[in-house]
Amino acid sequence: MFKGTTIVCIRKDNAVAMAGDGQVTLGNQIIKAGAKKVRRLYKGAVLAGFAGSTADAMTLLERFEKRLEENSGDLMRSAVSLVKEWRTDRSLRRLEALMLVADAKITLLLSGSGDILEPENNVASIGSGSGFAQAAGRALLEVSDWAPSRIARRSIEIASEICVFTDDIVTVEALGE
């Protein structure tokens, strides 16, 4: 299985940013250092990041984008629809991935076991370095006046200094900054 992802989402004031590292590993080898694991969906109004098997995550992103189109960009309805299908569909329920999705109003963590979680403290993270990125993000939110995109980027950079499956090639997307 491919692994080596850290995604973090930071909310502050009326803005939200999501950042992800670029490392993909297979076993003990780095396969790619600049993968883009954070994307804009639905006319640029939704941010999505994934952790897990690359092919599985791409399948989920495509399905989620279809759900957003069907639900006119309603993030919660689209998440519920995707997670329901993910949990009950024979082929989808074998997918190994997690997703973070966010729009101007909410952030959600989605899983194949049926989870739709709205994280607390304006910081959410997934992946191998998620604990490190989340801790960094929470601390920076408390002590800095930085924009969410700067906090998200720095959180991934800090995680990359601790987690061997996270690198410092960072993709950041933001809304409302």
| Full set of structural domains in the chain with CATH | 2-170 (3.60.20.10)
Long-range CB contacts (within 8 A, 24+) of 28-35:
30/4, 30/167, 31/2, 33/167, 33/169, 34/169
The 10s digit of each residue's pLDDT in 149-177 is 999 999 999 999 999 989 999 999 999 99
Catalytic annotation, residues: 5
> Of residues 52 and 50, which shows the higher confidence score?
50
Q: What is the 3-state secondary structure (H, E, C) of 41-106?
A: ECCCCEEEEEEECHHHHHHHHHHHHHHHHHCCCCHHHHHHHHHHHHHHCCCHHHCCEEEEEECCCC
User: Which letter, b or e, does each residue of 11-33 get, where b requires 16 or more Cβ atoms within 10 Å of its Cβ?
Assistant: bbeeebbbbbbbbbbeeeeeeee
**For residue 56, pLDDT beyond 90:** no
The 10s digit of each residue's pLDDT in 82-104 is 988 888 877 776 777 789 999 99
pLDDT at 82: 92
pLDDT at 90: 73
pLDDT at 86: 83
Could you report how far apart the first and last alpha carbons of the chain are, in Å?
A: 36
pLDDT at 21: 95
The 10s digit of each residue's pLDDT in 21-37 is 998 888 788 888 888 99
Per the listing, tokens 């992800």 go with: 20
Question: How far is the CA of 110 from the CAs of 45, 113, 147, in angstroms?
Answer: 18, 9, 25
